[in-house]
Structure 1
Amino acid sequence: MSQDSSPPPYLRVAEQLRQRIQSGDLAPGDLLPSLSEIREETGYSGTVGQRAYAVLVDEGLVVARPGRGHFVRSQEERPLLVRRPRVAPGSGSPTAALLDAQGVRASWDSESTTARADLRIAERLGIAAGDPVMHTSYVYRADGEPVQLAESWEPMAVTGGTLVVLPEAGPYAGIGVAERMALIGIEVGVPVERVVARGASRPEAALLGTTPAAPVLAVERTHYDPATGRAVETADIVLLGSRWAAEYGTRPEPAAPSDSPDAAADRG
């Protein structure tokens, strides 16, 4: 008795979509059929469509955009961006200033909510687990393409009741941690950063438009008040590895030529 050796339905759907992408029928950036459209066209369940898209996402052909659908992923390389931990005062959003300086149009989405610090965040901030914090989530884009994620936590004991309590709202929205803290009398120093390389989680990959386990740089950043030693902000930053290089330190300015007696005599 022979067994059916044909591939399962989700692989057949994936192959149909793959052929349309590779033939150019679906171009980079095109919106792919929704799960309901796949169900109507093929008669298969929505689960089959979900598994088919999971295959194409893992292959790097398709990008899942939460709340928007699935899109054909561009295969062309994007220019490498350079991240530096500080920018000049008065530049506004540090990430936006870095991108703008590299000729890239910056944009971002953010959402702030009050929360309770879990044990991990409490240890980084030097507060008790359960203490109130302001939690802000970010998705940063370069020319419309997502390149960086961030999760930030600030103790409400530091910013609560001030005009800078909401990082992305109010009269001082979007100017960055250092400048916001300066407005309430805290001159933060250079942040402490711990950087590791790892693979993107599936939720991170979906937000960044890449494949799960794609290389990312993960940064644990904490700003401190040098006067008291207390932490005033900590953040988890995820940088798309194919788009970013990190650069630390500041190159010294060339020394001005000295006006020696010999040089003056030569000029005479």
Structure 2
Amino acid sequence: MPFGEQPAYLRVAGDLRQKIVDGLLPPHSRLPSQARIREEYGVSDTVALEARKVLMAEGLVEGRSGSGTYVREQPVPRRIARAGHQSGICSTPFRQEQTDERVKGTWESSSRQEGASTAVAARLRIPAGGRVMRTRYLFRAEGEPAMLSTSWEPLEVTGRTPVMLPEEGPLAGRGVVERMAAIDVVVDNVIEEIGARPGLAEEAMALGGVPGHAVLVISRTYFAGRCPVETADVVTLADRHRVSYHLPVR
């Protein structure tokens, strides 16, 4: 194949994609059948099938059992606002992950003690298998599932203190900074990294998405000086959210 020339199935998928973008194939309309694609574009059944698979993988269409393939309605992305901690302002787990005050949010959570995996231990700078408190969250924005988060806190920092369980005790439902301050641990910096990967089936189910579609992962670690006191992975559907940072210029 000459350099720059696309395979036939990508050319067909690209033309159908453009029709979806331009509104010629609006949401909920039926995608041309495999036979129709074959005839219209002069391609084989295999090429027509592969073109449809491309559009499915991109989340533009979905199959309905016994009915055909239809154009999906594309969600309007929500904004996940990120900003540095502001002293004196009470933070909650939802506000910790979504700092846009215009968004009303709630959360569900569960915590348990466990041994840190090798990856988590490296992030917390503790030995593999070191005891941590793992807390899993499901965040809802305007009542709809928005984000999943799993956080790990080293029990050598929080163990046997009133803040050992993030969602229980006198500071239940407060953010990491406030909880750590209550045990004289001053959080003064945070590192975040953003990546993307295919979503796991259980993540898609919890967030109302499709297994295999891309998710955004915000990996965040809070530090007191050079000592990590909490690390977390925040997961959200890539086609439904945009991450927005507001950072001060010093």
Specify the TM-score bucket, using the shorter chain as the normaliser.
0.5 to 0.7
Corresponding position: 1:230 with 2:227: yes
Corresponding position: 1:83 with 2:92: no
2:208 is matched with 209
1:246 is matched with 243
- The Cα RMSD (Å) is 2.8
Corresponding position: 1:149 with 2:173: no
Pairing of 1:112-191 with structure 2 (within 5 A): 112-191=111-190
TM-score (norm 2): 0.66
Cα gap change, 1:225/1:145 in structure 2, threshold over 3 Å: closer, same or farther? same
Give the SS at the match of 1:248.
strand
Q: Judge conservation of contact 1:154–1:234 (CA < 8 Å) in 2.
A: yes
Q: 1:195-231 deviations in whole A, cap 9, x for unaligned?
A: 11222111110111100122221122111111xx221
Q: 1:130-183 deviations in whole A, cap 9, x for unaligned?
A: 211100000101111111111101111000111111111111011111111111
Q: 1:104-131 deviations in whole A, cap 9, x for unaligned?
A: 3211110011111111111111111121
Q: Judge conservation of contact 1:197–1:215 (CA < 8 Å) in 2.
A: yes
Q: How far apart are the structure 1 equivalents of 2:228 and 2:167?
A: 20
TM-score (norm 1): 0.62
Q: Judge conservation of contact 2:81–2:99 (CA < 8 Å) in 1.
A: no
Which amino acid is 2:120 matched to? Answer: I
* Residues paired across the two proteins, number: 186
Cα gap change, 1:234/1:61 in structure 2, threshold over 3 Å: closer, same or farther? farther
Cα gap change, 1:85/1:60 in structure 2, threshold over 3 Å: closer, same or farther? farther
Q: 1:22-73 deviations in whole A, cap 9, x for unaligned?
A: 79xxxxxxxxxxxxxxxxxxxxxxxxxxxxxxx9xx96589xxxxxxxxxxx
Q: Max radius of gyration: which structure?
A: 1
Q: Judge conservation of contact 2:80–2:100 (CA < 8 Å) in 1.
A: no
Q: Which moved more, 1:171-180 or 1:92-101?
A: 92-101
Give the SS at the match of 1:163.
coil
Q: How far apart are the structure 1 equivalents of 2:123 and 2:249?
A: 32
Which amino acid is 1:153 matched to? Answer: W
Q: Which moved more, 1:211-220 or 1:86-95?
A: 86-95
Q: How far apart are the structure 1 equivalents of 2:106 and 2:193?
A: 25
Give the SS at the match of 2:205.
helix
| Cα shift at 1:103 | 2.8
Give the SS at the match of 2:247.
coil
Identity of aligned residues (%): 38
Which amino acid is 1:222 matched to? Answer: T
* Structure 1: gaps of 5 or more residues: 1-21, 24-54, 63-73, 254-268
| Cα shift at 1:232 | 0.9
Q: How far apart are the structure 2 equivalents of 1:186 and 1:98?
A: 21
2:13 is matched with none
Q: Judge conservation of contact 2:189–2:224 (CA < 8 Å) in 1.
A: no
Cα gap change, 1:86/1:93 in structure 2, threshold over 3 Å: closer, same or farther? farther
| Cα shift at 1:79 | 5.0
2:192 is matched with 193
Q: How far apart are the structure 2 equivalents of 1:99 and 1:189?
A: 19
Q: Judge conservation of contact 2:215–2:236 (CA < 8 Å) in 1.
A: yes
Q: How far apart are the structure 2 equivalents of 1:221 and 1:137?
A: 14
